[in-house]
Amino acid sequence: MELFDVYSLFDVTPVRAKGTRIWDDKGVEYLDLYGGHAVISVGHCHPKYVAAVSDQLGKIGFYSNSIHNPLQEELARKIGELSGYPEYSLFLCNSGAEANENALKLASFHTGERRVIAFKGAFHGRTSGAVAVTDNPKIRAPFNSWHEVTFVPMNDIASVREELSKGDIAGVIIEGIQGVGGIIIPDDDFMRELRSATKEAGVPLILDEVQSGCGRTGKYFAHQWAGIRPDLITMAKGMAGGFPIGAVLISPEFEPVKGMLGTTFGGNHLAMAAAIAVADIIKDENLVQNAYEVGEYLKSRLLSLASTCPSSAKGALPPPGVDCNSDDDRSTIEIKEVRGRGLMIGVEFSGPIAELRRKLLFDKHIFTGVSGKNMIRLLAPLTLTKDDVDIFIKALEEVL
């Protein structure tokens, strides 16, 4: 049997990893600025993580959700404390899409309505409801197309209010920062208006923090930059060091009814051991603050790299001694804009970055992510250091 061929692969085979480094089957060392798509929050193979998962495996790996599992309560307590949502309750599942699917269901159960407001450029996953609220018709099958979804432009509160006024909305779903959409940060003022408008209309606000959560942006959740409190918050990627997991944080206004949600694997003992270890490491090593500080440093280094030539400087002058008319091949592609918060950063270039990314990977041995054709997306482990940043900036400068 062969694999169903849906992924474009780089010709690299990682076999070992530690912290921010990965080694391939030929012994080549790579710097990981992609974190396996924002998943590796506490670094690869953190010793406390390895010990916790190995230890749990020797005790009990799985039992169904028909018995007491105190590890689930421990994780709920720890996430409540870390995130500042101790009064919310936690529903555990297995992926980001599944978390969004359950949040959408809860909103719909709560309001008795079916239509959802989502945003242009949104990505919420590939299960039926999640892909219906994703703004990409190419990945939506006819089977998924019957959901009632209205996409409105980001930061356009008038459009949101107009849709809400029709009185048939089950919920509004928005990413803390759009990742796949190209590191689009909703305006803080817009987020506050969105919170007020949904509250006035009695419609649940769902914050998809699947990619932007777990401390990645320098706050535990990206929406906390705007100081709002949504009704439902979904999370997944950075929660358990690569062990499949997803979760919904649910405000006390939602009444649980036995059997209304459920899953076979969600909340299993191994996943809980992994997620508790990650939560402990994030707290003990102050990784949310590290994400903020190292992220700010990375952005400032990228911006000064951008300002070495006027066409990419967004108005800044080149530093003394830099000859921007020189005939090197720097002019082929330049940094146009750097945006993001913490360690969720997009570097937008003046042209396609496929070759640049290949050179970073194969010549400089650095993993990066991508958004669209012109953006490199950096989603490094939250343990990234300023020395790692310096290595990347030097490599990028050389490749450019």
Residues in contact with ligand PLP by CB under 6 A are: 95-97, 100, 123-125, 175, 179-180, 208, 210-211, 236
Report the chain's terminal Cα–Cα distance, integer Å: 42
- In angstroms, the Cα distances linking 367 to 328, 336, 360, 388 are 25, 21, 7, 12
Q: Which two tokens stand for residue 38?
A: 């924002």
Is 367 or 400 the residue whose CB approaches ligand PLP more closely? 367
Report how far residue 292's alpha carbon sits from residue 5's, in angstroms, rounded to the nearest whole number. 38
Based on its alpha-carbon atoms, the radius of gyration of the chain, rounded to whole angstroms, reads 22
Least distance CB 122 / ligand PLP (angstroms): 8
Least distance CB 353 / ligand PLP (angstroms): 19
Least distance CB 130 / ligand PLP (angstroms): 7
Q: How many CA atoms lie within 13 A of 226 on its CB side?
A: 21
Least distance CB 115 / ligand PLP (angstroms): 20
Least distance CB 142 / ligand PLP (angstroms): 21
Task: Give the pairing type, strands 29-32 and 21-24.
Answer: antiparallel
Is 312 or 381 the residue whose CB approaches ligand PLP more closely? 381
Least distance CB 372 / ligand PLP (angstroms): 14
Is 49 or 119 the residue whose CB approaches ligand PLP more closely? 119
Report how far residue 128's alpha carbon sits from residue 140's, in angstroms, rounded to the nearest whole number. 8
Q: Which two tokens stand for residue 66?
A: 């028909």
Is 123 or 349 the residue whose CB approaches ligand PLP more closely? 123
Q: Which two tokens stand for residue 118?
A: 């989502």
Least distance CB 245 / ligand PLP (angstroms): 9
The three-point CA angle 252-254-258 to 5° equals 115
Query: Rounded to an integer, what is the distance from CA 239 to the centroid of its chain?
Result: 11
Report how far residue 186's alpha carbon sits from residue 373's, in angstroms, rounded to the nearest whole number. 21
Q: Which two tokens stand for residue 264?
A: 């076979």
Contact 100, 210 (CB under 8 A): yes
Beta-strand ranges (E) seen in 228-372 are 232-235, 246-250, 335-341, 344-349, 366-367, 369-371
Is 125 or 313 the residue whose CB approaches ligand PLP more closely? 125
Is 357 or 365 the residue whose CB approaches ligand PLP more closely? 357
- In angstroms, the Cα distances linking 339 to 3, 119, 181, 184, 342 are 37, 19, 13, 8, 10
The three-point CA angle 116-93-268 to 5° equals 170
Is 207 or 306 the residue whose CB approaches ligand PLP more closely? 207
Q: Point out the residue whose Cβ comes nearest to ligand PLP.
A: 96
Least distance CB 98 / ligand PLP (angstroms): 7
Least distance CB 39 / ligand PLP (angstroms): 9
Task: Give the pairing type, strands 246-250 and 232-235.
Answer: antiparallel
